[in-house]
Amino acid sequence: MSGKANPYDNAKMESFFRTLKVEEVYMSEYRTYEDVLNCIPYFIEEVYNSKRLHSALGYKSPIEFERMHFNSSIYSMCPTNGGQSADLVKSVSNFWGSYQNYIKT
């Protein structure tokens, strides 16, 4: 363990808090504490966790990365039997899109 206030101890959290400050806190004008309580969770859930591109995910958003991984795993599980697997993949992909919309609400 290194000394006090060393950013290398917890680099991932330091990076997250830098992003939170630069992209949300410094760009917003909070009038009340309730504004903060509403805006910060919105930024984390709706922007940082779903739309923002992450370098660890190949500069894809988490939703896009999950969909890509989900689709590739479905293709690898499907047998190739004259187009039926493509229909299955399409219906599962439609379900996945509906599920993503459901969890956002």
Q: What is the pLDDT of residue 15?
A: 85
Q: What is the pLDDT of residue 67?
A: 82
pLDDT, tens only, 26-63:
999 999 999 999 999 999 988 888 888 888 888 888 88
Backbone angles phi and psi of 43, in degrees to 5: -60, -45
Please give the residue that has the higher pLDDT: either 10 or 102: 10
**% of the chain at pLDDT higher than 90:** 20
What are the Cα distances from residue 40, in Å, to 37, 83, 90? 6, 46, 36
Q: What is the pLDDT of residue 22?
A: 93
